Amino acid sequence: MNLSDFTQSSYLASFSGGLLIGFAAAILILFNGRIAGISGILGGLADAHKGDKIWRVMFLLGLVTAPFIYRISFDLPTVIIEAKTIELMISGLLVGLGTRYASGCTSGHGVCGISGGSLRSVIATLLFMTAGFITVYITRHLVGI
């Protein structure tokens, strides 16, 4: 692999995105003392105090507006979703339920928890990843979706 292969592929974008996620998580914990777990931020929005709502809303607005800001400078990749709307809705519901049962999501456990040395987060992330691998294997190789 030469340098042009690296810059023309998704490796650079993925690496840069990972750095930005880690940087944002570090800033949030250093300056706000909060974990950048999306499910916890969103779930805590309903019963948060006024001062606690502001940072949650700003964080979520950043997540939603980031692709639009990115689109100003760069072309967004073409995304083809082959799943039906009902499949996406069921998948979203299952992910939401899973984050509640795991007391967090991949951003909270996988990015913040593991970097903080939490054994619970290591186990949760391993379970998330294993469930994902199994799901892809079943849907792609056994069911044929």
Domain count, the chain: 1
Residue 129, domain extent:
3-143
pLDDT at 122: 93
Name the pLDDT band for 145 (thresholds 50, 70, 90): low
> Which class for 7: exposed (0-12), middle (13-18), buried (19 or more C-beta within 10 A)?
exposed
- The answer to whether the Cα torsion of 97, 14, 127, 103 is positive or negative is negative
pLDDT tens by residue, 9-37: 677 878 888 898 889 889 988 998 888 88
Q: What is the pTM of this model?
A: 0.71
